[in-house]
Chain A
Amino acid sequence: MNSSRQFIAGAALALLCAGCETLPEETRPLARDSSPAATAADRRAAVPERDRVLHDYRTAAKALRAGDYDEAKARLDDAIARIGGIIANDAEAERARGLFSPESTKVFIGEPYERVMAYYYRGLLYWRDGERDNARACFRTGQVIDTGPEQERYEADYVLLDYLDGLASAKLGADGGDALARARRHAAGRFALPDYNPAANVLLFAEYGYGPRKYAGGQYGEQLRFHVEDSPSRSARLVLDGGRRIVPLPAYDDLGFQATTRGGRVMDFILGNKAHFKAAADAAADLALVGSAIASDTARRRDRRGKDDNDAEVAAVGLGVLGVIGKIASAATHAEADTRQWNNLPQRLSFAALRLPPGTHLGRVEFLDREGRVLVSRSQPVKFTVAPADRDTVLFFSEHKP
């Protein structure tokens, strides 16, 4: 009889150990990328392959805001080379689908709104280099990524992707009317999208606010959720010629809206099944352990009465073993959703096209709150040069510091 009691004590210890959790994914450093001594290449090499695209995304956004366009292009091209293909029969993806590995085991490519932004940024950089058709290609791929094929009622609904697609076509001498009509349909009367002006030689891309944050919800963190904190900056404008010319930069797209309205993922279904298994295994193990304790108690009482009950002892040990196995299986099951995220994205995207004479221009970019008041501390002086030829001058303004 002592043996069954010892076994139950051992089972309790095993349960205690099984309850130990690994570090949540978000608390792990992505790489030692803050070391001042390390070169950019060193820092990239230190990034695990599965996080490489994430590192590319973040570095590209920083580089873009710092005006280091070559670095931004290099990082975005590196990311697009990975996210642009079809990932199938991939061992890490298979592990991520399995019971005993978290979703973050897979190579990160990001949720659709993150992948769209990689193409959006690369598109504006292509445009800056005079490659309007490649810029348009990026905007078109963004639209394809934004469609929700698993829930076929979700169609791409970025305003700017369609608007820029049409503008690029118009500037290439083609008809951008269909794309403009789609953009206006997505805008749904919230704001008026201007007609294309093929003579516009300055393209302003602006971004402001803080992008959505991922977090894991549900009993086991199996639900990927997004936190969207509405940023104070609700719109922006470019002020030129000492205030005589004001170019509005309204928020055409909101990444918070995009992240939260695209519908569920197949992976959510898989994670839900993992969570179900984890809960069921845990409950079954509880049942088995309770049964083991009852059987043990019965055997003990019969033992005191001088009756031998080997059956109860066997049942106690058997149920105890199963209880421990169930607890271990439950603890080893990882249902956590992947919350790795492109954490320096903006919330709102804006654009304007205008015609300016070649030469140097001075002005300031102002960000406005909900009531249209200027957020003075966020305003930035700007100085830019408009190219003399018929090449477009592409300007990028971000509320975020590099």
Chain B
Amino acid sequence: MNTTSRLLLASAAALPAFLAGCASPYAGVSQPAGAPVVQMRPDERGAVAGTGIESQDMVTVTDRMARSILAIPQIARAQVPPSVVLEPVVNNTRFPINKDIFLTRIRTQLNRSAAGQVSFLDREMMRTLERERELKRTGQVTASADPRGPSEFGGADYFLTGKLDGMTTRTSAGTSDYVLYSFRLTDARTSRIVWEDTAEIKKQGLEDAAYR
């Protein structure tokens, strides 16, 4: 084998090594596949997840709040089931949410777990109820009791409301979101907060490098 051939064969041997060395275009990129979202509490997490407020958080939080409310003496030892009005939750986080869903689930949980121990007043229906009462008073529809008597619409003993606060950190290591869910029950007569409880959930994740 002459010198030319030897050089050519050496070049040929070097080519695959050269190509192999370049084979990974994302060499040097930290965690190119990203890191899946990790929920900091031992709750179930779906395959599709973000660091925001998700259904499993809602279930966890509302279950906890419903149990907590039932344990307070004002509810557990009340002679007459107290009437509660739900006020909209205030969302101070960066996640747009269906706010009604929290209170709706707490209400249904309470109604299911402690039937008769607490009653809820349906203020969302007030316009419809007033119109119905007016129809009864004017005799346009039948009534089972005297519609001209004093109003039978119930007054609230307590107001139940909540607030969601959040804190976000975003660095090259990923995105982290902490959400504090706080709910409280306020005595309608004295304005005293008779119960308050919180739940907190923190999540973090890192997107695939293709999205960074």
A residues contacting B by CB (< 8 A) are 80, 84-90, 93-94, 96-99, 103, 106, 109, 122-123, 126, 131, 133-138, 140-141, 143-144, 147, 149-150, 152, 172, 174, 265-267, 269-271, 273-274, 276-277, 280-281, 284, 287-288, 291, 294-295, 298, 309, 311-312, 314-316, 318-319, 322, 325-326, 329
Contacts and interface: CB of A to CB of B under 8 A. Distances in A.
A311 to B, nearest CB: 4
A316 B36 CA distance: 50
Interface string B14-55: 011011001111111100111111000000000011111000
Contact of A97 (B5, B26, B206): B26
A284 B93 CA distance: 55
Nearest to B91: A133
18 contacts: A84-B50, A85-B49, A85-B52, A87-B208, A87-B211, A88-B208, A89-B34, A93-B210, A97-B208, A134-B97, A144-B94, A266-B29, A273-B27, A276-B22, A288-B15, A309-B5, A311-B2, A318-B8
B42 to A, nearest CB: 19
B95 interface: yes
A271 B207 CA distance: 17
Interface residues of B, number: 54
B91 A137 contact: yes
A318 B13 CA distance: 9
A401 B26 CA distance: 43
Q: Which of A86, A90, A172, A267 has the most CB of B within 10 A?
A: A86
B209 interface: yes
B15 A322 contact: yes
A97 B26 CA distance: 7
Interface of B: 1-2, 4-5, 8-9, 11-12, 15-16, 18-19, 22-29, 32-37, 48-52, 90-97, 99, 168, 170-172, 174-175, 205-212
Contacts of A136: 91-92
Contacts of A137: 91, 93-97
Given A97-B26, A295-B5, A315 B12 contact: yes
Contacts of B209: 93, 97, 266-267, 270
B172 A267 contact: no
A143 B175 CA distance: 13
Contacts of A141: 94-96
A149 B94 contact: no
